[in-house]
Amino acid sequence: MQQTSEILRELKIKVTPQRLSVYLAFNKARGHLSADEVYRAAQKKVPAISLGTVYSILENFCAKGLLREIKIDFNKSFYEMKKEPHHHFSCRICNKIFDVHMPVCSALRTNTVDGHIIDDFQGYFYGTCAGCLNGKKKK
Ligand SMILES: [Zn+2]
Ligand SMILES: [Zn+2]
């Protein structure tokens, strides 16, 4: 708990029980969470938290560079702890989101493309995940 507060303070985020509960939801899940999932996890620590509060905390955390918003699903955003840039794969069958690591192309190695400077990137891929493919084969 102490450590978490320090991480938030370092990012100049005022520490509140609500913010801590949202942060801890990500710390625990270590994956991609929708606002609803964050809301449900946060409610376990702070029962009075509202979905609106969760949204504004998510927005704040993204602005501070703590979280990254993933818009792989146009109907709802997912969020994850910010780490090195990577692409995402969404399975059309089970709706799970996976991190995908691909060889870095030359533009990303030099961080420039057509004279523009790249400081972040995200690619979205859609299809059938390995788990669903294996499940299908067994049938
Ligand atoms: Zn799947
Ligand atoms: Zn990811």
Spelled out in words, what is the top-level CATH class assigned to the domain 87-138?
alpha beta
Burial 60-88, CB ≥16 within 10 A → b, else e: bbeeeebbbebebbeeebbbbbbeeeeeb
Q: What pLDDT, on a 0 to 100 scale, did the predictor assign at position 77? A: 92
Match domain 2-81 to its CATH number in 1.10.10.10, 3.40.50.10860, 3.60.10.10, 2.40.128.50. Answer: 1.10.10.10
Task: Tell me, in angstroms, the distance from the centre of ligand 2 to residue 44's CA.
Answer: 24
Q: What pLDDT, on a 0 to 100 scale, did the predictor assign at position 111? A: 86
CA distances from 127 to 49, 77, 79, 88, 132 (A): 36, 18, 20, 11, 10
Q: What pLDDT, on a 0 to 100 scale, did the predictor assign at position 108? A: 76
Ligand showing the shortest atom-to-Cα distance for residue 136: 1
> What residues does each domain of the chain span?
2-81, 87-138
Ligand showing the shortest atom-to-Cα distance for residue 100: 2
Which pTM value belongs to this model?
0.83
Task: Tell me, in angstroms, the distance from the centre of ligand 1 to residue 126's CA.
Answer: 10
Task: Tell me, in angstroms, the distance from the centre of ligand 2 to residue 96's CA.
Answer: 11
Closest C-alpha to 61, from 20, 95, 31, 118: 20
Structure tokens belonging to residue 61: 């955390």
Task: Tell me, in angstroms, the distance from the centre of ligand 1 to residue 136's CA.
Answer: 10
Q: What pLDDT, on a 0 to 100 scale, did the predictor assign at position 107? A: 76
Q: What pLDDT, on a 0 to 100 scale, did the predictor assign at position 139? A: 53
Task: Tell me, in angstroms, the distance from the centre of ligand 1 to residue 134's CA.
Answer: 9
Residue 128 CA from chain centroid, whole number: 20
One pLDDT digit (tens) per residue for the chain, 139 residues? 558 889 899 989 999 999 999 999 998 887 899 999 999 999 999 999 999 999 999 999 999 999 999 999 888 899 999 888 889 999 999 999 999 988 777 777 788 889 999 888 888 999 999 999 998 765 5
Task: Tell me, in angstroms, the distance from the centre of ligand 1 to residue 62's CA.
Answer: 27
